[in-house]
Amino acid sequence: MKIIIVGYDKMFSNLILGTLESQNKIVGVFRHERVSIHPFFLFFKDIFAPGKDLSFLKSLKLNEIKARSVNSKEFYKAVLKLNPDIILVGSWSEKFKKPIIELPKIGTINCHPSLLPKYRGPNPYMRVIMNGEKETGITFHLMDENLDTGPILWQRKIPIVQGFAGDTGESLKNKCCIAAREEIAKLLNAINNEMIIPIKQIEKESSYYPQISEKDILIDFDKTSQQINALIRALSSWQPAYIPHRNTFLKVKNIRFFENKTKFHTDKYKPGLILKKNKKTLWVLTGDDKIAKITGLSVFGKFGRLITPFYMSFFVKAGDICR
């Protein structure tokens, strides 16, 4: 079969490798930088500071489609000329329009990193950890005009390691991308042998989570130490968590939890209470009566690192409530 692959980052590269290993032919690739960066600036970036995706594509000598959008006339004409059996999508920010979806002979297939219909949306890696899920997965589904709603072709479950030393958002992403590389060959082989029956998603079992918001990255000390730890792990490598304090926010670098063996207990002291502090560290009470030791703090903002020692010395006090 002839395949066009659209995407970026690790899911993109793993789908390319898996497709090549399946002995199917990649007739074109479309990287996300073509959409996210203006052509004038991308021209110079590709020369002087090429991204990982471009370097990877060049190393494999793949045919790159040049267009500004998957819904552009340029992309439409390129697909018509290449006449693919499948467009395979692995991480993308645009909503595909019907004329593009219907161009390939067999269909346009998306690889979504969750067990659809659960966890539709852009951040399933983070959301499943934040919500304490014990498993996630990848789903290959036919695309329609909505997001992550098309009939399911293939799924694989992936266990999530929870707990204080559990999976991070990044480690879970790596697991999903590796699984996608392994499973795409099986899927394409099944399609070649006409063994696939698309299964309609059950809407009453669906869930959708939007982009991570400012509210999502704030630590709520009313929650348990396990829940706070899950938030930190979910955001790890991509986005720091923050502590709300008065009218500002403190960026968190490291956090550890200890049993509360002091006189401070939740029957007398509220979650979020700063029990102790120095210029670089806070000890804060959690909702399950644990003590969170938070280090590497810095004030949010352009000059946050410069003003942090001053802020910690004069504005943060034991007895303050973080909320």
pLDDT tens by residue, 219-272: 999 999 999 999 999 998 899 999 999 989 999 989 999 998 876 555 667 899
- In this prediction, what percent of the chain has a pLDDT beyond 70? 98
**pLDDT at position 267, please?**
61
Q: Which pLDDT does position 178 carry in this prediction?
A: 98
Name residue 30's amino acid: F
Class of 215-314 per CATH? alpha beta
In angstroms, what CA-CA distances link 65 with 29, 81, 103, 167, 220? 6, 11, 15, 36, 46
Question: Where, residue-wise, is CATH 3.40.50.170 in the chain?
Answer: 2-205
Q: CATH for 2-205? A: 3.40.50.170
* pTM, rounded to two decimals: 0.93
Q: What is the pLDDT of residue 262?
A: 72
Q: Which residues contact 170 (CB under 8 A, 6 or more apart)?
A: 125, 236, 237, 238
Regarding predicted confidence, which is higher, 266 or 202? 202
* Cα separation, 82 vs 103, whole angstroms: 11
Distance of CA 157 to the CA centre of its chain: 17
* pLDDT tens digit sequence for 211-223: 999 999 999 999 9
Q: Pick from 174, 287, 299, 316: which is nearest to 229 by CA?
A: 287
List every span in the chain annotated with CATH 3.10.25.10.
Answer: 215-314
* Residue 128 banded pLDDT, cuts 50, 70, 90: very high
